[in-house]
Amino acid sequence: MTIRAIFYDAGHTLVRPRPEVDEVWDFLAHQLGVTIDAGQRGPFPDVAAFFYSRLGEDGLGAYASDAAARAFWSEYYAYALRDVAPGLPRAELLTAGSAMFDWYNDPAQWQPFPEALDALRAAKARGLVQGVVSDWGTDLLPILHAHEITRLMDFVVASAVVGSSKPHREIFLYALGRAGVAAREAVYVGDSYLADVLGSRAAGLHPVLIDREGAAPPIDAPVVRALTDVLDVVDRIDGARA
């Protein structure tokens, strides 16, 4: 049995946000009608850490619907803004966060990583089934389509469409059904250890972590620095079985 399919996470695996940090601060300042000066414009809080902090609440279902995804990001931006406009009611911060969620649903705010399309073409040329399995709202499809990713994919599974988000097994099993392959015939590539590596492994797939910065600690899964290295991992898995 050999690898017959590669599934990909979307955010920070295939595509990255285009706006610079200052643009995001400008957007929020404009939404709130306040001035946010340079001293207040730090980096935004780590999204993964915020996600983890909510695991005891509804974090694991954060992308199971458009409404849940909007709520997650509204809360995230309200949290990021908590010290910036202390006089403003929380409802206004949530509204600005919700507007930001809409802003990021515009394909123009996203761009593929430089090597992504080449890597997808190479895997497609090998005859591998390819799919996106992403924690995302229903706007994922037009975003990927605008950047010519969908034509290299056999399908796109967005959590808000199927009603299940990573790291739960259901979304991976759904994708396996779409691909018509067994779990052990599929590789899953993503940038999140919890959602992508642990989630896909729990569903029986072969996880691969993409770590473009080389910043991840040693982990119990193959790590690649670029999508163009994923086929080498596929070869190693196939070779180990031969």
Q: In the stretch 184-213, what mask flags binding to Mg ion with x, by CB under 5 A?
A: -------x----------------------
Least distance (Å) from Mg ion to the CB of residue 209? 10
Rg (CA), the chain: 19
User: Between 34 and 113, whose beta carbon lies closer to Mg ion?
Assistant: 113
Please give the Cα distance from 115 to 221 (Å, whole number): 22
Q: In the stretch 2-41, what mask flags binding to Mg ion with x, by CB under 5 A?
A: -------x-xx-----------------------------
Please give the Cα distance from 169 to 159 (Å, whole number): 12
What is the size of the binding site for Mg ion (CB under 5 A)?
Answer: 4
User: Between 11 and 131, whose beta carbon lies closer to Mg ion?
Assistant: 11
Tokens 């590539």, located at residue: 189
User: Between 12 and 124, whose beta carbon lies closer to Mg ion?
Assistant: 12
**Cα separation values, 83 from 47, 52, 90, 197, 210, Å:** 17, 21, 11, 34, 33
Least distance (Å) from Mg ion to the CB of residue 190? 5
205, 172 Cβ separation under 8 angstroms: yes
User: What region, left, alpha or beta, does residue 223 occupy, with left being phi > 0 and alpha being psi -120 to 50 degrees?
Assistant: beta
Cβ atoms within 10 A of the Cβ of 148, count?
12
Please give the Cα distance from 191 to 182 (Å, whole number): 23
Least distance (Å) from Mg ion to the CB of residue 72? 14
Least distance (Å) from Mg ion to the CB of residue 151? 21
Least distance (Å) from Mg ion to the CB of residue 75? 19
User: Between 85 and 116, whose beta carbon lies closer to Mg ion?
Assistant: 116
Q: In the stretch 152-191, what mask flags binding to Mg ion with x, by CB under 5 A?
A: ---------------------------------------x
Please give the Cα distance from 242 to 237 (Å, whole number): 9
Tokens 């072969």, located at residue: 206
Q: Which residues bind Mg ion (CB under 5 A)?
A: 9, 11-12, 191
